Amino acid sequence: MSTTQPDGRGTSNRGTRNRVPVGIVAALSGVALTGPLATDLYLPAFPQMAQDLGAPEARVQLTLTAMMVGMALGQLLLGPCSDALGRRRLLLSGIGVFAAVSFLCAVAPSAEVLVALRFLQGAAGAAGAVLSRAVVRDLYTGDDAARLFTRLMMVTSLAPVIGPPLGAQLLMVGPWQLCFVALGLLGLVNLVMVWSGIPETLPEDRRTPLRLGPLLGNIGRLLRDPRFLAPMFALGLSYAAMFTYISSFSFVSQNELGATPAQFGLIFPLNAAMLILANQINSVLIGRMGTPARLSIGLALGPAAVAALIALQVFGEPTLVSVAGVLLLLMFSMGFVFPNATTLALSEQSASVAGTGSALMGTMQFALGGGLSALAGLTATGGATLVSMTVVMAATGVLGTALFLLFRRFGA
């Protein structure tokens, strides 16, 4: 394990490899997975939920919006609070509330009640997202932090990919309420793992008082620091490109490319395989190549994939196989962007503001991912098309790379 200096900055361990306790890896992976999985697991149940609750589909879709808003606001609240109060108690409290609210979602009598519960579920689930990153920054730095961030980002990146197929399998066993029961059980498992596997990682002498002045000062310093802004925008805009693909391709593949539901379902395991492959390659490169260089690989491959997608539409005839094949390269690039952007943003900041920094990154990720991906649906038909999906992905991918290079130059 990397050591930590009295000022809260971990010592560099570039070129060394220390063993990370299995309990910490398992617990952090579980809590990091919770929020993203809760966002996507129940998506296949929308039609069934609308019929069962007697609500229009638009109102059922509002439960997804409420979840994402709760996740964003929860991270903004819990991150700074953890810098003042410590990580463990907030992490345990968030997981416990998440489990309880998940079970309540399963017995929600109306769509309106479910919307409110989903907001609370998102706010509680934010504890896992924001505090898992802060715990890693408390304990590790350098290559050890990069390795653990790689594992955590692989888990959170897989959630949007495996969530809908897993939810579809649960619907074959029982009604839509089973999805929320499964999330509640996951919360209870995480509660046990965190209780037994993660100690308090932020000592009292390294905490920041929870006062508005110092909090706003920390936020202001982070938002003025090019070393933080560069990877934050790279992460947020890359996530927007990926989420645009995930949220739009079900319509594009079946309405324009002639895919059957079974063929569409086969694409998700391939996406998962590309993410895992990229994460494994990234892990091998740790210690052999610096974090900015590894991040640059992902920021180059993402726009290259979108450029190939544009070329298919301009010079060729897009097919399900060719479009899905090109988009696999996009998913591969995310395996380099997510862990390395997180490592770069938090490793260059003091551990005393790791919670606040993690909160800003998470909020930006959800805001850009949820907000910009919705632009793909602003078409004459009211639904995403291959062209609109490509335009949004191109804009977010190129902008993410450009802002990274711009702020890195200022930071240098």
**Whether residues 169 and 232 fall in one domain:** no
pLDDT reading at 1 higher than 70: no
**Whether residues 154 and 188 fall in one domain:** yes
**Whether residues 274 and 135 fall in one domain:** no
Domain boundary among 177, 210, 243: 210
Domain boundary among 154, 184, 210: 210
Lowest-pLDDT range of 65-79, 219-233, 362-376:
362-376
- What Å distances lie between residue 299 and 80, 156, 229, CA to CA? 29, 19, 15
**Whether residues 35 and 162 fall in one domain:** yes
pLDDT reading at 333 higher than 90: yes
**Mean pLDDT within 393-399:** 94
Cα gap 44→64, rounded to integer Å: 12
Q: Which residue has the higher pLDDT, 266 or 257?
A: 257
**Mean pLDDT within 36-56:** 84
122 lies in a domain?
yes
Q: What is the domain range of residue 306?
A: 225-412
**Whether residues 269 and 318 fall in one domain:** yes
**Whether residues 104 and 160 fall in one domain:** yes
Q: Which residue has the higher pLDDT, 307 or 350?
A: 307
pLDDT reading at 347 higher than 90: no
Query: 385 phi and psi, to 5 degrees?
Result: -120, 170
Domain boundary among 210, 240, 269: 210
pLDDT reading at 24 higher than 90: no
Cα gap 42→229, rounded to integer Å: 33
Cβ partners under 8 Å of residue 75, min gap 6? 126, 129, 130, 358, 359, 362, 363, 366
7 lies in a domain?
no
Looking at every residue in the chain, the average pLDDT score rounds to 85
Q: Which of 48-52, 191-195, 267-271 has the highest mean pLDDT?
A: 191-195
5 lies in a domain?
no
Lowest-pLDDT range of 140-149, 216-225, 294-303, 339-348:
140-149
**Whether residues 116 and 235 fall in one domain:** no
Please report the pLDDT score of residue 14 as a whole number: 45
**Mean pLDDT within 19-45:** 83
**Mean pLDDT within 228-239:** 93
**Whether residues 79 and 190 fall in one domain:** yes
**Whether residues 229 and 93 fall in one domain:** no
Q: Mind listing the pLDDT tens digit for each residue in 353-386? A: 888 888 898 888 878 877 788 788 788 776 678 9
| Cα 258–Cα 168–Cα 74 angle in degrees, nearest 5 | 110
- Confidence class of residue 162 from pLDDT cuts 50, 70 and 90? confident
217 lies in a domain?
no
**Mean pLDDT within 181-197:** 94
295 lies in a domain?
yes
Q: Which residue has the higher pLDDT, 11 or 52?
A: 52
**Whether residues 118 and 236 fall in one domain:** no
Please report the pLDDT score of residue 140 as a whole number: 82
pLDDT reading at 243 higher than 90: no
Please report the pLDDT score of residue 51 as a whole number: 87
144 lies in a domain?
yes
Question: How many domains does the chain contain in total?
Answer: 2
- Confidence class of residue 76 from pLDDT cuts 50, 70 and 90? confident
Q: Which of 168-172, 251-255, 367-371, 395-399 has the highest mean pLDDT?
A: 395-399
**Mean pLDDT within 36-50:** 83
**Whether residues 94 and 235 fall in one domain:** no
291 lies in a domain?
yes
Lowest-pLDDT range of 3-17, 108-122, 250-264, 274-288:
3-17
Please report the pLDDT score of residue 80 as a whole number: 87
Please report the pLDDT score of residue 11 as a whole number: 40
pLDDT reading at 114 higher than 90: yes
**Mean pLDDT within 313-331:** 92
Q: Which of 150-154, 382-386, 388-392 has the highest mean pLDDT?
A: 388-392
Cα gap 159→163, rounded to integer Å: 5
pLDDT reading at 19 higher than 70: no
**Mean pLDDT within 37-48:** 83
Please report the pLDDT score of residue 382 as a whole number: 66
pLDDT reading at 301 higher than 60: yes
Q: Read off the CATH number of the domain in which 245 is found.
A: 1.20.1250.20
pLDDT reading at 30 higher than 80: yes
Q: Which of 55-64, 90-99, 162-171 has the highest mean pLDDT?
A: 90-99
Please report the pLDDT score of residue 412 as a whole number: 65
6 lies in a domain?
no
**Whether residues 34 and 73 fall in one domain:** yes
Please report the pLDDT score of residue 355 as a whole number: 83
